[in-house]
Every structure is written in C-alpha cells, then in structure tokens.
Chains A and B, each alone.
Chain A
C-alpha cells in the first residue's frame, strides 16, 4: 500500500505562500497537508523550506535529515539541506550535500553555486573559484554565484579578480540589488571611494532604486568631500527608507528635514561600530587634542584641592578608551565607561583601564542606574546632543553635591544662544546656551574656555571645554 499523495493544488498554494513570504498562510496549508498526506516527501520539503525561510534552521535540519535518509538520491533535498547547513554554520556538511547534488545532477548550476559558496566557507578557495566560475557560465543571471565568486577572489587576495567578477555579474544581472550593494561595500572596505561612487552612479543611471545603494553612494561622496552631492544621495536614500535613523539624521544635518534634539542612538552605533578599528589613528591624524585638555583641567582642578581624588569616575561615550589612557594614572576609585558601539568597547576593553564598560545609550543608562559618580567626563560626546537639558538633568541626579562635570562641545560662534545641527551630523552650541543649560540643571560653571578641538577637512573645529560643579542639592 502506498502513502496518500498530497493534493497538488494545495502543494502549489503552500509553495506560493512560502515564495511570497506569507508564512502564516503557509503554516495553515501545511497543517492541512500534513493531516491529509503526512508521508508525502513533497510536504516535508515544503515544511523544510518554510522553516528555512523563517530562520528555524534547527527545525529545517531535523526535517531534512529524515527526508534525505528516506530519499538519499533526491538532489533538491540535498540542496535544501546544504542551504540549511550553510545557515547553521556547518560549511563542511553543506559542501558534502552540495557535492552530492552536483553528482546527482551535473548540469545544475544552482547546485554548483551552493557548492562553491560552501567551499568558500571551508576555505577551499581554488575549488570554490572553479566551481563558482562554472556556475556563472551555466547560469549567468544567477547573482548569488557572482557574489560568491567575488567573495572567493577577495578571500584569495585578488581584489582585481573580485572587481572583475562584480563587473561581469552586474552586467549579467543588472537588476540584482545585492550584487550592486556587495560591489560598493567591497570598494568601501578597500577605501576606494572613487570606485564606490562610480558603481553607485552607474546603478542610478541603470534605474536601480535602492536606499542602501544611495546611502553607500552618499557615504563615498562624503569621504571624497563632495558634501552637496552626498546630501542629495542621502536625501534619496531617505525617501526610499524613511525609517532609517542613520540616513534621516544626515538629511536633517543637511537642513532638509527638521532636526531633532539629539543624534539617534542607531546613528551613533552605526557610525562608531564601522569606525572602531581605525578610530584612534584617524583622530591622531586630525590633531585631536581633547583627551590632553581634559587631563590638564582635571589636574588643575585637583591641584587646587591637593587631598582630593577624582572619586568614582564615569566617562560618557568612552569610545576606544583614549581618555582612560590619558587619565588612568590620576587618583580615582573606579572608572566606568559607557558607549553605544560594541566595537569601540572591544578596543577599550583591550586597554584594561576601565573597571566597568557598559554597552548602552547614555540617556537610557542614566535613567536605569542607581549608581552615583563624583566625576563625569564627556569628551566629544555632547556634540551628539542638541538639547543638553535632558542629559544634564539626568547627570545631576547621579552625582553628589560638588560633583565634577567636565566636557567638550563644538562651539556655534555665529549664534547668541541655542544649538545647531551641522552638516557632519554633529551639533554645535552657543556658549551662552551651555551656561544656561548647566545653570538650569543645577550646575555652576567653574571653567569655560575656547579651544581648537581638532582639524577637519583642513579647517579647525572650534570648541569649548567646560568644568562645572553640581551646586543644587537633590530635592
């Protein structure tokens, strides 16, 4: 007796639901199919596809292990399991399945592509390149094979071959967004901003509509100092992806949208995560002076009261730990650093200076914590807040009377008061505004002096260094 066959129309319906990402409906149809013909391998295959689509890789593998055992010569099942294994990080297993699928169906370019991608992951780069090249010959429109080939060449150290693979792939699959994005990302990683701009401009000319492509184009243009064109690209990216806080902040910085009171956490995380490994060398290159100035003021301030230590110190936006390096030898009873960028914090952790490092948004952290700090330092971090009020009020609640607050801001010299979001996505403040905001939050200014903070695009970024004391007792 043979097992009942599943209804073909229902199978097609389930397939359609999975392809169009309507997973709830796919579940319902599959439940009905299971009830009617649970043993039909086609049902199992669809269940596995649904599980992969939903990211339930463990479930998919469990289903596929059973299915492959039952139908060892099924190339589609092998390929599906290879796909699941790649997602599960089991590249060797994926390679075995994909190789089996290639043996079962030597003409199948998809199988070759999956095998190639798995081989990239296991580090068999020559075999991967051969396999992927064959896949691209068999199915020139398969963008994933071109992406895999470029990746294989990159890992093999051949940037030129990778560029050629991207160029050929874009020519063969011009509508594939992933290929365009990958090519631009690869150019950015190599700091070849001109190449990235060329790729982005070509994409636009080819009618590619994609926020990520425009965002990368904006980034590359910005790196080349073409700020107007970068703003336009960011504005385009915003129109296609209005929820993206990163792009939105940059568009606001260009004056095209109303600015908000602070840079969004997601923006800062994106910027600084991508920046972490070369942050310090970059700042040194810019003549970054703030850590030295901070130390200087702290020393001066302690000299006035020789017996005093810094007590418990909190550093806002500690980044890679430059301030820690600079003040780590001063007397204190602990140094806590907080930053939004996990990559930056990794760099700071490696310095072994901080007693505690916190990965969180400053405002959220201050709202949650019950700790108190005698000294709070914010070097080049308040420039990501326009309205300083909420931050300063939160800080006051976490500091003792006479607690020390030391920070830098970029100065808006043209304004009598208030703050302004600048083109680089940072805020500049008028001195009078800073003074007023401190006073309003219960601080008294002890030192406020103008300083050149660093160089940027050949110009000096002027700022203000402020030392203030908490003078109002908590209510």
Chain B
C-alpha cells in the first residue's frame, strides 16, 4: 500500500486544504499518535466526501497497523461497497480473512482481485497463499508463477513459488526452471534465493550456500537472503561464515530475536563465551524468559565455569515451559558438571527429559531375527568428525569385521575433516537428517532397515537423542557423545561401558542395560601429528608443574579449592590451566580471583588460551602431572595427556562422566593414579610430585605403554565391540522367538 495518495485517486479541491492533503494528514497522524488521534479528521473527510473509497481504505489500513482486525475488516468492506473493484481493499480484507481462518472467502476475494487487477503481483501472490492453504498446490503454483512473472525481483514471491513447487513434489523441476531463468537473468537475487532454498531442501547444501551468498552479495540490503544464508551456514557447521552472515542480517534487522539468539549460539560455538553471555543476558532482560534463550544462556554459564548459575537458568527454563524437551535437555546438559552430583539425581533428571520427547506411532520390525547374520548398524551423531566422538570411536568402527557389520551414518557431513573422511570411508551409506520434520527423519531412518542404532550425540550440541524415542531400530545403544550418564530414555536398550566406568552395583544408576566391553569402553586413535613426548619439565625447572587442559565447564569451585590446597602444600609448584574460555579477559580475571580466594597468587598460575590441536598437545611438554577435574572428568583430554607422557590424577564418583579418566588409567595399568576421595586426591598429588625419578620413568614409557595397551589397540577393540553388538542383537533375536 503506498504511503501517500497516488494521483489517480485525487478528488477535486474544495477550498482551503484539499481533501487529499487532509487525508494525508490523517494518515500521518494515525501513524504518529494512533488511530484515535486521527479519527475525527478521517470522519470529517468521509462526511464531506461519502463516495470517496480512499477514506475507508485508509481507515482500514490504520486499523490494521494498530492490530484491530475487526475494525479494519469493516472499513475494507465499506471501501468495497463504495468501489467493488478496489484491489487494495480486496487484498487487505482477504488477508484478514485468511488470518481468521476464513480461507474460502479470502480465496474468492483474491480471485476477484486478480480479475480486477491482473497486473498486480500481490493479488496473485495472495491467491497462491490461499490456494496453498486449501491444499490446491498445483493451482497455487500457477498463481505464484504469475506473481513472479509480474514481479521477477520479489524475493518473497519467489520463495512462495519455490515452497509451492516443493509441496507439490515438483522441487526438482523448479530447480531446473530457476537455473534456466538465471541464464537470462543472472543477477536476479530473487531467483538465486529461491534456488538456494530448493537446493538445500534437495540436500545440495554447498551449492545452496553458494546461491545464497551470491543473492546476498547482489542484494546487500535485503534481509531474506542474508537470513537464509546465515541459517544455512549454521546448519552446515560453517560457524565463522555463519557469524558474518548473522552480523550482516542483524545489521539489517536489529530487532530479530531469532537471529540474535542464533548469533549467541554461534558465538558459543566459536568459544566467545563471555560475549555470548552478555548478549544473552541482554536478550533475556529485554524479551523475558524464553526457552531457546535460556538454553543458550545456561550452556554459556556452565561453559564459563558457573555451573550453579547454569543449572539455575535451566530450572528457570523448566519453570517457564515444564513440558519442553529442550528445557529438560538443558538441565541434563548442566547437571553432570554440578558439584556433588550423584548417579541417582542425574538419572532422575534424565528420565524426566526422556519422558518428554514426542513419540510417533511405530510399526512392528521386519528385521529377520537371525542371531548370526550380518548386521546393519546405524551411527546417529552430529559429530562424526574431529571431535571426542570421532577420536574415541572411529578406530573401533574401522576394525569391526566388515563381513559381519555394515555401517550406516545418520547425521550431518563435515566436508574435508580427516576423521569425518574415515567415517565416510567405512560407511555403506550416509544420511543427512536436518532441515526436515522429525516424522520425515524417523521414516527415513527406519527406511534403512537398521538392526542396531548407536546414539553418539546424546543431549549434547545438535544431539539427536530425541529421535531414539521413536525407535530407529529394534536395538538402540548409547555410546560416546555426551555420554555423561544414563540417557533416561525408556527406548534406549543398552549402554556401552566397561568394568571401571560401571563397577558391580552401578546398574541402579542407569535406565539402560549395561553392555560392558572387555577392556575400556573407548578406543583412542592418537593424532598422527602428535609431537614426541618432551622430557619431564620438573627435571629442568626444579619444581612440579601441574596442569589441567580440560574445558572450563569442568572446573568447579571444589576443584579450585582442592588444587589450591595442593599448591599450598607444595609452595614451589605451579598450575597451568588451558582452555578456550581463558582467551577472554573477564574469564581469566575471574579464575585468578577464585584462586586468590584460596591464597594462591596469580604468579603461580599459568593461564593459556585455546590453541590448534598440534600446539595444544605440544603444551603438555610443560606439564609434569595432570590434575583431573571432578565431578566431570576428562575423557579425550585424559587420553591426550597420557599420549603426551603426562599421567593424570583422578577421583571417580558415581556418574559415568566422573569415571572416564579412571577407566583410561586402569585400561593402561596406571591404577595407582586413581584416588578414592578428596583427601586421597591431594595426598596422591603430593606423593607423585615428590618422586621425580619415578615421574620421569613413567613419562618416558607412557606412550609406548599406551600404544601397546587395549586403549589404543584398534583390532582388539573392534573384536570386543563386535562381540558386544552381537550380544545385544542376539538378545533381541531371543526375545522375538521366545
């Protein structure tokens, strides 16, 4: 609707200010001060010119802007009584009718509109929208086609047409049409945007991104291409680029909450925690509690080592939306880091979360229950790449007997990542699951006729545990990937573990049946670029350097108190802490303050920010003894410390997450580095630090010892994993024939 009156509608001047000028004044007044302020003027003009259809039309527009649909509809109807062929009135009234669910009436108005004003693209676009709602996608597509013919540069209309084509099952044909259209009109951002959306729906995401990038470059002031590009990049895990696109989109529309929340999430993934925290706090303050915001804020707080605050925010999310799976998932992600968390409490929260996943009706399994046949194994994970899931599982899958197991990966792809390529190499198929409805995803997964699905993502970032509530295979198993404790999911049948992670009696902490492997529950695949083990630094330094290279989320107040006590007992010793969060000044200062509160000066603490992986490993050359955090112990980090010759002191508890280091140490025969309580943890640190000769000896032999141990023995692990999977399968077969 034009802001000022077009000349074609100007009535004759009747002395003083013209009616046109008066009407413009009323419109401005309504905009600036609300309809009530302008009402007398509107009514005065209407009284003076009762046949002028422009007046009720403008009154309708003013009402609509004020959100008063009923009044707006009445005014539109009044305009149409005066001029039954006025297209703007038909369009405006039709839209209100659509919003109130009167689709057929709206549709007939739009049809009239198109008849009266066949050159008005908005009319055809509105007609297409109404037809979509009545399910007549073929006719809708034709209407959108006319709209885009009349307004070839209109991005919204182009997207409507693409959506209609997709709904009609003609997405492929529309892609071809758009490509052809682009050859004649190569710098049309509308065509490119629509093509990008369709390509992503057709799982050609890289090409989709290219289209959207070009569209965004050609129309730098348009929000839609920027927003679509940003979200597509987020889904592609191209976070740095997504961040740039999100920034550009937010520049165009600073009020878009969804964009800003996504930007905060992207910042978290880029380890810009302090910034993300400030943004999220501001968003919550401005917009109130919203589960999506609180989820990101909770994750952010935990990542900053503020575990209690993170848990409190998660509980706020639950209070805000008690049945939201996301709210409960947020709590389940925060709780394992909480000081003093026990197995029972964590299981209870996990069960609550598990119960809230939506469930679809499922059909019986056609899988032949033959105990010895070759099995189709699905790996459900967002992180089959260079990530703890990759480092700790890929060697096991690679060494499974290919005549007995066939692997099918379910999750996003990660381009050129070397561990991802190892998964690609071993997988018989790869199915990307995003950008579709859960029902479609479940149907697709079930279409693979998998015998066993292994969840390797849990409730973690982009984890897809909720899909397992719908049973993707007759046997479902939880393994690495936010495997901090039981999933609490009734449909999760088994939980891969080992005798150190879940000693006898621990079954009560798990909703799943435990599936212990012969040795450790993971197989570490050391990076080929790991530097050689450096000599014991204490030998040259004359003092012990303790270290912890774990995520700050794992460093609790109790941990800081314990490490401080150790440092007080060894006045020459130092502690090096390394994590991404430390790169941010406020976090660094907060951490030093925490130690200062325990009478440990900043001069004894080395704070190191994040580093590329090779450099991270090299930094173990400065560390004599690693101190494991609690209650969430190091997993991959412990393996890396050991590979770099640095033994780890740990204190396992009840939860699965608290026992990773104990498992790895026991698996390589370093049981004497495991403490049973806090006092023993401190004493062990003091005792180990006192024997430099023994430390040097342990360090020298540690890599070879580890390489020869079951922790790194891929073929041995593969046999054990294969046997466990077979046991789980045979159990299912036995139940079918029982």
Interface residues of A (CB under 8 A from B): 9-10, 13, 17, 22, 24-25, 28-29, 31-32, 34-36, 204-205, 207-209, 214, 235-237, 239-243, 248, 255-258, 260
Instruction: Please state if B525 and A207 are interface contacts (CB–CB under 8 Å).
Output: no
Whole-angstrom distance between the alpha carbons of A32 and B714 in the complex? Answer: 53
Q: Which residues of chain B from 676 to 720 have any CB-CB distance to chain A below 8 Å in the complex?
A: 714-715, 718
Instruction: Please state if B214 and A256 are interface contacts (CB–CB under 8 Å).
Output: no
Known A-B contacts A36-B187, A257-B398; the reply to A207 vs B531 at CB < 8 A is: yes
Instruction: Please state if B531 and A205 are interface contacts (CB–CB under 8 Å).
Output: yes
Q: Which residues of chain B from 131 to 188 have any CB-CB distance to chain A below 8 Å in the complex?
A: 182, 186-187
Whole-angstrom distance between the alpha carbons of A25 and B398 in the complex? Answer: 36
Instruction: Please state if B217 and A29 are interface contacts (CB–CB under 8 Å).
Output: yes
Closest chain B residue, CB of each to CB of A32: B187
Write out the residue numbers on chain A whose beta carbons fall within 8 Å of the beta carbon of B214: 13, 25, 28-29, 32
Number of A-B contacts (CB under 8 A): 89
A/B interface sample: 11 pairs, CB < 8 A: A17-B210, A22-B210, A31-B182, A31-B187, A207-B531, A208-B529, A209-B528, A236-B529, A239-B418, A241-B418, A258-B399
The smallest beta-carbon distance between B718 and chain A, in angstroms, is 8
Write out the residue numbers on chain A whose beta carbons fall within 8 Å of the beta carbon of B401: 258
Q: Among the listed A17, A22, A35, A208, which residue makes an inter-chain contact with B186, where contact means beta carbons less than 8 Å apart?
A: A35
Known A-B contacts A28-B214, A237-B528; the reply to A242 vs B422 at CB < 8 A is: yes
Write out the residue numbers on chain B whose beta carbons fall within 8 Å of the beta carbon of A10: 217-218
Instruction: Please state if A13 and B217 are interface contacts (CB–CB under 8 Å).
Output: yes
- B598 within 8 A of partner (CB): no
Instruction: Please state if A239 and B422 are interface contacts (CB–CB under 8 Å).
Output: yes
Q: Which residues of chain B from 364 to 410 have any CB-CB distance to chain A below 8 Å in the complex?
A: 398-402
Whole-angstrom distance between the alpha carbons of A212 and B126 in the complex? Answer: 59
Whole-angstrom distance between the alpha carbons of A17 and B211 in the complex? Answer: 12
Q: Mark B187-221, 1 if CB is under 8 A from A, else 0.
A: 10000100000000000000100110110011010
Q: Among the listed B192, B220, B400, B421, which residue makes an inter-chain contact with A28, where contact means beta carbons less than 8 Å apart?
A: B192
New A-B pairs, 17, CB < 8 Å, besides A248-B425, A257-B715: A9-B217, A13-B214, A25-B211, A28-B186, A28-B211, A31-B182, A31-B187, A32-B187, A35-B186, A208-B529, A209-B528, A236-B529, A239-B525, A242-B422, A242-B425, A256-B714, A258-B400
Q: Which residues of chain B from 706 to 736 have any CB-CB distance to chain A below 8 Å in the complex?
A: 714-715, 718
Write out the residue numbers on chain B whose beta carbons fall within 8 Å of the beta carbon of A260: 402
Write out the residue numbers on chain A whose beta carbons fall within 8 Å of the beta carbon of B531: 205, 207
Q: Among the listed A9, A24, A236, A240, which residue makes an inter-chain contact with B220, where contact means beta carbons less than 8 Å apart?
A: A9
- B618 within 8 A of partner (CB): yes
Write out the residue numbers on chain B whose beta carbons fall within 8 Å of the beta carbon of A243: 421, 424-425
A-side interface mostly: helix
- B601 within 8 A of partner (CB): no
Most buried by B among A28, A34, A236: A28
The smallest beta-carbon distance between B107 and chain A, in angstroms, is 37
Instruction: Please state if B418 and A240 are interface contacts (CB–CB under 8 Å).
Output: yes
Instruction: Please state if B213 and A25 are interface contacts (CB–CB under 8 Å).
Output: yes
What 4 A-B pairs come out closest when comparing CB atoms? A236-B528, A32-B187, A31-B186, A25-B210
Write out the residue numbers on chain A whose beta carbons fall within 8 Å of the beta carbon of B532: 205
- B614 within 8 A of partner (CB): yes
- B615 within 8 A of partner (CB): yes
- B254 within 8 A of partner (CB): no
Q: How large, as a class, is the contact surface on chain B?
A: 35 or more
- B527 within 8 A of partner (CB): yes
Write out the residue numbers on chain A whose beta carbons fall within 8 Å of the beta carbon of B715: 255-258
The smallest beta-carbon distance between A254 and chain B, in angstroms, is 10
Write out the residue numbers on chain B whose beta carbons fall within 8 Å of the beta carbon of A235: 528
Known A-B contacts A28-B192, A35-B186, A258-B402; the reply to A239 vs B714 at CB < 8 A is: no
The smallest beta-carbon distance between B136 and chain A, in angstroms, is 34
The smallest beta-carbon distance between A310 and chain B, in angstroms, is 39
Instruction: Please state if A24 and B210 are interface contacts (CB–CB under 8 Å).
Output: yes
Q: Which residues of chain B from 419 to 467 have any CB-CB distance to chain A below 8 Å in the complex?
A: 419, 421-422, 424-425
Write out the residue numbers on chain B whose beta carbons fall within 8 Å of the beta carbon of A28: 182, 186, 192, 210-211, 214
The smallest beta-carbon distance between A232 and chain B, in angstroms, is 9
Instruction: Please state if A32 and B186 are interface contacts (CB–CB under 8 Å).
Output: yes
The smallest beta-carbon distance between A177 and chain B, in angstroms, is 12
Q: Among the listed A207, A239, A248, which residue makes an inter-chain contact with B615, where contact means beta carbons less than 8 Å apart?
A: A207
Instruction: Please state if A209 and B529 are interface contacts (CB–CB under 8 Å).
Output: yes
Closest chain B residue, CB of each to CB of A214: B528
The smallest beta-carbon distance between A56 and chain B, in angstroms, is 18
The smallest beta-carbon distance between B299 and chain A, in angstroms, is 30
Write out the residue numbers on chain A whose beta carbons fall within 8 Å of the beta carbon of B424: 242-243
The smallest beta-carbon distance between A307 and chain B, in angstroms, is 48
Instruction: Please state if A257 and B399 are interface contacts (CB–CB under 8 Å).
Output: yes
Write out the residue numbers on chain B whose beta carbons fall within 8 Å of the beta carbon of A255: 715
Whole-angstrom distance between the alpha carbons of A17 and B528 in the complex? Answer: 32
Whole-angstrom distance between the alpha carbons of A241 and B210 in the complex? Answer: 27
Closest chain A residue, CB of each to CB of B192: A28
The smallest beta-carbon distance between A131 and chain B, in angstroms, is 35
Whole-angstrom distance between the alpha carbons of A403 and B207 in the complex? Answer: 56
Whole-angstrom distance between the alpha carbons of A260 and B401 in the complex? Answer: 10
Q: Mark B318-361, 1 if CB is under 8 A from A, else 0.
A: 00000000000000000000000000000000000000000000
Whole-angstrom distance between the alpha carbons of A360 and B217 in the complex? Answer: 49
The smallest beta-carbon distance between A461 and chain B, in angstroms, is 25
Q: Among the listed A22, A24, A31, A207, which residue makes an inter-chain contact with B529, where contact means beta carbons less than 8 Å apart?
A: A207
Whole-angstrom distance between the alpha carbons of A29 and B188 in the complex? Answer: 11
Closest chain B residue, CB of each to CB of A22: B210
Closest chain A residue, CB of each to CB of B207: A24
The smallest beta-carbon distance between A20 and chain B, in angstroms, is 10
Closest chain B residue, CB of each to CB of A210: B529
Write out the residue numbers on chain B whose beta carbons fall within 8 Å of the beta carbon of A22: 210, 213
The smallest beta-carbon distance between A203 and chain B, in angstroms, is 10
Write out the residue numbers on chain A whose beta carbons fall within 8 Å of the beta carbon of B425: 242-243, 248
Instruction: Please state if B218 and A32 are interface contacts (CB–CB under 8 Å).
Output: yes
Q: Mark B97-127, 1 if CB is under 8 A from A, else 0.
A: 0000000000000000000000000000000
Instruction: Please state if A239 and B527 are interface contacts (CB–CB under 8 Å).
Output: yes
Most buried by A among B182, B401, B422: B422
Write out the residue numbers on chain A whose beta carbons fall within 8 Å of the beta carbon of B527: 239
Whole-angstrom distance between the alpha carbons of A25 and B213 in the complex? Answer: 7
The smallest beta-carbon distance between B315 and chain A, in angstroms, is 43
Instruction: Please state if B528 and A239 are interface contacts (CB–CB under 8 Å).
Output: yes
Whole-angstrom distance between the alpha carbons of A9 and B217 in the complex? Answer: 8
Write out the residue numbers on chain A whose beta carbons fall within 8 Å of the beta carbon of B714: 256-257
Whole-angstrom distance between the alpha carbons of A235 and B712 in the complex? Answer: 13
The smallest beta-carbon distance between B221 and chain A, in angstroms, is 12
Most buried by B among A9, A22, A240, A242: A242
Most buried by A among B186, B187, B214, B714: B214
Write out the residue numbers on chain A whose beta carbons fall within 8 Å of the beta carbon of B400: 258
Whole-angstrom distance between the alpha carbons of A35 and B422 in the complex? Answer: 44
Whole-angstrom distance between the alpha carbons of A80 and B686 in the complex? Answer: 66
Whole-angstrom distance between the alpha carbons of A199 and B409 in the complex? Answer: 38
Instruction: Please state if A204 and B529 are interface contacts (CB–CB under 8 Å).
Output: yes
Whole-angstrom distance between the alpha carbons of A255 and B398 in the complex? Answer: 12
Instruction: Please state if A240 and B615 are interface contacts (CB–CB under 8 Å).
Output: no
Q: Among the listed A34, A209, A240, which residue makes an inter-chain contact with B614, where contact means beta carbons less than 8 Å apart?
A: A209
Write out the residue numbers on chain B whose beta carbons fall within 8 Å of the beta carbon of A36: 187
Known A-B contacts A258-B399, A258-B401, A258-B402; the reply to A242 vs B421 at CB < 8 A is: yes
Whole-angstrom distance between the alpha carbons of A281 and B98 in the complex? Answer: 86
Known A-B contacts A10-B217, A25-B210, A256-B714; the reply to A207 vs B614 at CB < 8 A is: yes
The smallest beta-carbon distance between B615 and chain A, in angstroms, is 7
The smallest beta-carbon distance between B71 and chain A, in angstroms, is 46
Write out the residue numbers on chain B whose beta carbons fall within 8 Å of the beta carbon of A239: 418-419, 422, 525, 527-528
Instruction: Please state if A35 and B187 are interface contacts (CB–CB under 8 Å).
Output: yes
